[in-house]
Structure 1
Amino acid sequence: MRTSHLSLKAAALVTVLGLTLTACGGNSTTAAPAEGAPTASGEPVEGGTFTFAEVTPINNWQTQAARFYEKANVLNSVLDRLTYFDVESGKLVGWIAKDFKANKEQTEFTFTIRDGVTFSDGSALDAEAVKLNLDALGLGIKDAQIAPNVDFGAYKSAEVVGENQVKVTLKRPDANFLRATSSVAAGLVSPKTLKLDNAGQSAIAKIVGSGPFVFESEKPDEEVVFTSRDDYAWAPETAPNQGDAYLDSLVVKYLPEVASRAGAAQSGQVDLVRGLQPVDEQVLAANGGQVFAAQGVDLTTNQAAVRIGSGKLADAKVRQALQVGIDRQAIKDTVLSDSYVVAGSILNHKAPGFVDLSSEIAYNPEKSKQLLDEAGWKVGADGIREKDGEKLEITVATSNNSVVIKPAFELIEQQWRDLGVKLVNRAADNTFLVNALVDDKVEFFGTRQFALGGLGPVYAPANNTQTLNSDEELNKLFAKEQAATSEEEHLKLVEEEQRALVLDKALTLVLWDEVQVYGANKSAHVEFTSGTAPIFQGAWKSEG
């Protein structure tokens, strides 16, 4: 049965313009409204169409590739997962798996599947369907040229056991495996979908899930329309709405023009839009709209991942110098807004295992200069440091997905110039990024990544697309963390990973906690997952 009202969670992980982060929130993240905007209290209104504006069109909806917001934010409402990360408790809770357990060695995991769950084509989402999905996630689908999910690197096999149970066996211990089953990239699709070729599994019209919304129609590069599923009754166990969606339909439009997003929300052209510029947040809030900053608990902070292939950053002292040569508060005050939280580590402040390293990475230009001197980089006649006839000129590459990434690195460029370091800023240059992704001589890769538990899956060389470095000591630490047999031991090792990556080795220069800033009109009521995806199953619109 439906809940009689929308249970609002404390604003732990989402802030509105002008407000600061408060205490722990609920199973989803929500925000207090901006001054003058409506509150999200009251009874949910049944019916209506909710229009959501995404940043860019998507042409590949294949589940394994749902590691980008444009995909994950939509597939979150189409595909259910075995587990769900509950923000309030910081624990995994049941979803399609009503119960799950692991052996002490973290090499075997048993899932008990809920009864009565069906895909939208009427087929059963039972233990056999789950086994097929796990095999696809862990082993890939060779015939369809679909690679394994990177978070399932330890996967060996799955078998149906008992009554509606699935047992997974791993090749090695992995304390983060359960958490990976909560990711949108581990979304469950029907066995018929798994039999399709790559093109079929990439087409949103052909993907069959068990989620609260079902594909209805598509206008390529313009919009995708979904209708709610009336018989949906298997939301995550802590979801405020345990029934089908309040909405009748969901329309996903594309709005690549950054300057148009706030106006679209304010005018009612869309109900919700992702990717507001900081300058537009205040304007929207002042005109009766709402600004939501969905904190990415499931992701690393925004960072400059370090590559040492050029040799210029091979010395840890140089990397440590650049770490304390960043004035993060100045970046927030100049480029960002109150929706953003200055990074204290590589993990988001609200992520399990976060350790606050703020004092150790605080802006200290004198220490930075000292470290650069000790590393043998001396200031040249033009003010740029040099060593053995080579200038300390380094390059950063990023995608253009973030509306703040380019101006942020422009400010870092100025800060480092005062240290005698020249930064070539190729942030938001997608053309340059294509080659930079595989070029270890490009010293920095601006990024944020899903970190579902530990940091090994993100930084271990076996699947490392970030630093392109290989570090034996880190590998040993990552393996130890994944083999942890207790939560206490695991969190301790996650702390060691953070200290190694941020301080000792300084292989990541952390900037701010990952956040996706959304704008909404005054009628929209919506919460967000720990991965910043809107929860349309619980969304609704005020009347009038």
Structure 2
Amino acid sequence: MISRTVSHHNTLLPDAGPRQRPLRVTALLGLTVLALTACGSAASTSPGAGVASGEPVEGGTLVYAEVTPINNWQTQSARFYEKSNVLNSVLDRLTYFDADQGEVVPWIASEFSGNADSTEFTFTIRPDVTFSDGTPVDAEAVKLNLDAQGFGIEAAQIQPNVDFAGYESAEVIGADQVLVTLSSPNANFLRATTSVTAGLVSPATLELDAAGQSAIAQISGSGPFTFESEKPDEEVVLAKRPDYAWAPETADNQGDAYLDRVVIKYLPEVAHRAGAVQSGQVDLARGLQPVDEEALAATGHQVLPAPGVDLTVNMAAVRIGSGKLADENVRRALQIGIDRESLKNTVLSDSYELAASVLNHQAPGFIDLSEELGYQPEEARQLLDDAGWKVGANGIRAKDGTDLEVTVTSSNNSVVIKPAFELIEQQWREIGVKLNNRAGDNSFLASAMPDPEVEFFGTRQFIYGGLGPIFEPENNTMTHTSDDDLNTIFAAERAATSVEERDELLADEQHALVVDKAYSLVLWDEVQVYGAHSGTQIDFTSGTAPVFQGAWKTGG
């Protein structure tokens, strides 16, 4: 049995002195979540970057520059930064992953527990919480949300949350408790309730049609900020809720936000972001390119790398639909045909750490496979020879009349993804493989995602439900890969009943994905590098989202 109980009344402090956090009880939460240890915060800055400090300042508007406009705000599809970074401040969740403590802690659920085989979870709902439309966040509202997550909403064309594997039912038991029953063990379920994709919305929001649930103006959450206004494709303005008093248990700010408003503007031009911070046009910008980091820090502003320990590493996820990568020897050759040290030295900055597994270094259960990832071009050539791919007159390998020519697609969310694959393109050419680099091309991405013959997706994915939801489903458009051997391990990991058993299975998953089967060509640990004005105080979640509820500004 795992459990987590907290006295709700102890979280509100009577004075303005230093806040003290209650002692933590970890129990077996390390098993029931793919819990992740340290997270980036304002303390993780590049040399020379200064962080605003001192007592919080009340009031003001923070201007935040995001990368790309969002036109669909439906909660369960908030698996992209542009959407989750905004909805993080609009939607509360049952639980919260506290990065400093490395564990799941109470939020809207003041207590939670799970049975020994991870098929039942009980949540006690915190009293006196309301959605922005005035309705209560009570057990019945939570049940409706869990059902929407577990089953989807057919009338609104909303699919089930992929992290809610095995969801069977939610039942209100008593006035303030909800019992969730799963049809099969899922030790990652509790972790899934911390995700923005599991954000709670009012019952009225759940009754809206697809268009209504996609419009941020119509979404009613219980978060510290609410929708105020929108200029499509230009900006979204959020206003604080003055009555907000139910932050996660370990949040430093237990009351309403210090800021009055947050203005989210869109700044797709990566070269303009550092300048916008320096000039004071924006207080915070996501997606700082490496060449701008040192210059921004040198002018007294902040470079804030926010590690994405809720995600996989950045990787080229293999898709075997074209048949060219069906042989694991070919995939292994491409894995060791990447010179990662050269990637670090020529494309990345000190904000980035080279990947050593499909999990980030801070993830519990992480195993270091860096010795298996050394650059070995001669061995790569031999593996390709053994697989029957022979070098042609043009220097490109071929087999049965087909060139070993592969394509990578990705979004433009990472500022280094395109130059990284430009370097990999050169490295693979040396072993006889031609790479068509379409990384960072969003228009190509739209057509490439449903096409199983596009061999690589440059990506990083949230792992709230573990690695299984990423690589397991046969209809997964991300990888178009499903492997029976791996799926057996994924199922066993969900059913693990001890930390030791889980870690052993996680090690098996990582070794298979990175070395034996090489479905994940790993590159660097996920990190989102933010630029912040010198007067901005901001922390980030373990999913790299800015925490506006605890943010403030100094100096105007």
Q: Helix, strand or coil for the counterpart of 2:163?
A: helix
- Between stretches 484-493 and 329-338, larger displacement belongs to 484-493
Aligned-pair CA distance for 1:373:
2.0
Aligned partner of 1:535: which letter?
Answer: V
Q: Does 1:174 align with 2:186?
A: yes
- Between stretches 418-427 and 368-377, larger displacement belongs to 368-377
Q: Does 1:78 align with 2:90?
A: yes
Q: Does 1:194 align with 2:206?
A: yes
Aligned-pair CA distance for 1:101:
1.1
Aligned partner of 1:208: which letter?
Answer: S
Match of 2:373 among 361, 366, 377: 361
Matches within 5 A, 1:113-192: 113-192=125-204
Quote the Cα distance in structure 2 between the aligned partners of 1:202 and 1:434.
19
Q: Partner of 1:236 in structure 2?
A: 248
Quote the Cα distance in structure 2 between the aligned partners of 1:391 and 1:35.
47
Match of 1:57 among 69, 79, 104: 69
Contact 1:31 1:293 (8 Å CA) reproduced: no
Aligned partner of 2:429: which letter?
Answer: R
Identity of aligned residues (%): 69
The answer for unaligned runs of 5 or more in structure 1 is 10-23
Matches within 5 A, 1:206-217: 206-217=218-229
Aligned-pair CA distance for 1:399:
1.8
TM-score normalised by structure 2 residue count: 0.92
Aligned-pair CA distance for 1:55:
0.9
Q: Helix, strand or coil for the counterpart of 2:62?
A: strand
Contact 1:306 1:444 (8 Å CA) reproduced: yes
Aligned-pair CA distance for 1:6:
7.9
Match of 1:310 among 299, 305, 322: 322
Is the alpha carbon distance of 1:38 and 1:390 closer, same or farther for their aligned partners in structure 2, counting shifts above 3 Å? closer
Q: Helix, strand or coil for the counterpart of 2:550?
A: coil
Aligned-pair CA distance for 1:92:
0.8
Query: 1:107-154 CA deviation, whole Å, 9 max, x = no partner?
Result: 111111111111122211011110000011111111111111111131
Q: Partner of 2:463 in structure 1?
A: 451
Q: Helix, strand or coil for the counterpart of 1:353?
A: coil
Contact 1:189 1:208 (8 Å CA) reproduced: yes
Quote the Cα distance in structure 1 between the aligned partners of 2:193 and 2:321.
34
Contact 2:40 2:306 (8 Å CA) reproduced: no
Match of 1:390 among 398, 402, 409: 402
Quote the Cα distance in structure 2 between the aligned partners of 1:125 and 1:426.
45
Q: Helix, strand or coil for the counterpart of 1:273?
A: strand
Q: Helix, strand or coil for the counterpart of 2:146?
A: helix
Aligned partner of 2:74: which letter?
Answer: Q
Match of 1:245 among 257, 278, 296: 257
Q: Partner of 1:279 in structure 2?
A: 291
Aligned partner of 1:172: which letter?
Answer: S
The answer for unaligned runs of 5 or more in structure 2 is 1-11, 22-35
Quote the Cα distance in structure 1 between the aligned partners of 2:37 and 2:324.
43
Query: 1:45-68 CA deviation, whole Å, 9 max, x = no partner?
Result: 111111111111111111011111
Aligned-pair CA distance for 1:326:
0.5
Quote the Cα distance in structure 1 between the aligned partners of 2:20 and 2:67.
27
Quote the Cα distance in structure 2 between the aligned partners of 1:77 and 1:69.
13
Quote the Cα distance in structure 2 between the aligned partners of 1:314 and 1:374.
14
Aligned-pair CA distance for 1:34:
4.5
- Between stretches 384-393 and 205-214, larger displacement belongs to 384-393
Q: Helix, strand or coil for the counterpart of 1:461?
A: coil
Q: Partner of 1:259 in structure 2?
A: 271
Contact 2:64 2:282 (8 Å CA) reproduced: yes
Quote the Cα distance in structure 1 between the aligned partners of 2:422 and 2:338.
12
Quote the Cα distance in structure 1 between the aligned partners of 2:509 and 2:420.
26
Quote the Cα distance in structure 2 between the aligned partners of 1:190 and 1:493.
38
Contact 2:62 2:553 (8 Å CA) reproduced: yes
Is the alpha carbon distance of 1:163 and 1:462 closer, same or farther for their aligned partners in structure 2, counting shifts above 3 Å? farther
Q: Partner of 2:30 in structure 1?
A: none
Q: Which runs of 4+ in 1 moved over 6 A?
A: 5-9, 24-28
Aligned partner of 2:253: which letter?
Answer: N
- Between stretches 231-240 and 39-48, larger displacement belongs to 39-48
Q: CA RMSD in A?
A: 1.9
Q: Partner of 1:16 in structure 2?
A: none
Contact 1:51 1:253 (8 Å CA) reproduced: yes
Quote the Cα distance in structure 1 between the aligned partners of 2:197 and 2:174.
27
Contact 1:5 1:43 (8 Å CA) reproduced: no
TM-score normalised by structure 1 residue count: 0.94
Q: Helix, strand or coil for the counterpart of 2:548?
A: coil
Match of 1:321 among 307, 330, 333: 333
Q: Does 1:516 align with 2:528?
A: yes
Contact 1:151 1:177 (8 Å CA) reproduced: yes
Query: 1:246-277 CA deviation, whole Å, 9 max, x = no partner?
Result: 11111111111111111111111110011111
Aligned partner of 1:407: which letter?
Answer: P
Q: Does 1:111 align with 2:123?
A: yes
Matches within 5 A, 1:15-94: 29-94=41-106
Q: Partner of 2:302 in structure 1?
A: 290
Contact 2:310 2:463 (8 Å CA) reproduced: yes
Contact 2:40 2:305 (8 Å CA) reproduced: no
Q: Partner of 2:438 in structure 1?
A: 426
Match of 1:339 among 346, 351, 357: 351
Aligned-pair CA distance for 1:382:
2.1
Quote the Cα distance in structure 2 between the aligned partners of 1:381 and 1:387.
13
Quote the Cα distance in structure 2 between the aligned partners of 1:147 and 1:116.
30
Contact 1:95 1:234 (8 Å CA) reproduced: yes
Aligned-pair CA distance for 1:521:
0.7
Match of 1:543 among 538, 544, 555: 555
Quote the Cα distance in structure 2 between the aligned partners of 1:502 and 1:27.
24
Matches within 5 A, 1:399-414: 399-414=411-426
Q: Helix, strand or coil for the counterpart of 1:226?
A: strand
Aligned partner of 1:288: which letter?
Answer: G
